[in-house]
Amino acid sequence: MIKGIVLVSGGLDSLVTASIAQQECDEIYFLHLNYGQKTERKELESFQKLQKFYKPIDSLIVDISYLKQIGGSSLTDDSIAVKDFTGEIEVPDSYVPFRNAHLVTIATSWAEVIDANRIYIGVVEEDSSGYPDCREEFYESLQKTIDLGTKEETNIRIHIPIVHKNKSEIIKIGFELGAPFEHSWSCYKNNDIACGTCDSCVLRLRAFKKIGIKDPIPYLVNN
């Protein structure tokens, strides 16, 4: 019996990861985290639409807005503006310190309680913007940490099925699996109409353009 917890932000990568998990697992469970990011209202709305679409056995929405309390990122800190895309390869302002460790750690605790044996997280190493907690070697180490820090009989595997894909490949996989792209949200800035100019929008729009498909969500700029 394969029971998978999927981390579902409501973004494109987590959407496609949910479709992959649905294919691979007997049961799926959705975990959504509100960390006080500026676009949480829209992300939560996306999450709820995805719940209706995928019908997970159970869902958990967890408040980790202490990440806003800690600050240090343009995604959570009102005093730091979300920058437009520059193409720079250094760690951007939108990096939320060690965020993905929080997501997987919470999923691990839940997995241990409900006897789930897989955690799916839609991180992307190559085509995402240089966040240190998106790299495969980070997850290998985190896997070992989970093995050592949970009960002997607990067996939880982290799955990162799109870590080495680029955005266009991810979209293609999503289309093949029938993922509802119209319900996803990627913009870092806005809650109603995507800005089209932040890192996340630019990478998404470029990828749709590359494969010649129109992104079904609305943008402020022409795409």
Tell me which residues touch its own copies (CB under 8 A).
60, 62-64, 66-67, 69-72, 91, 95-102, 105-106, 108-110, 112-113, 132-133, 135, 137-138, 141-142, 144-146, 148-152
Smallest distance from its own copies to CB 163, Å? 14
Residue 7 near residue 31 (C-beta atoms within 8 A)? yes
Q: Which of 2, 66, 41, 60 shows the shortest CA–CA distance to 192?
A: 41
Of 199 and 215, which has the nearer Cβ to its own copies?
A: 199
DSSP string, 202-221: HHHHHHHHHTT---SS-BSS
Residue closer to its own copies (CB basis): 157 or 172: 157
Q: Parallel, antiparallel, or unpaired: how do β-strands 118-120 and 3-7 relate?
A: parallel
We find the least distance from the C-beta atom of residue 44 to its own copies, in angstroms, to be 15
Give the residue with the Cβ less far from its own copies, 97 or 180.
97
C-alpha 103: how far from chain center = 10
Element (DSSP H or E) covering residue 33 = strand 27-34
Find the angle CA(68)-CA(32)-CA(70) to the nearest 5 degrees. 15
Question: Which CB, 114 or 213, lies closer to its own copies?
Answer: 114
Q: How far is the CB of 140 from its own copies (least distance, A)?
A: 8
Nearest approach, Cβ of residue 101 and its own copies (Å): 5
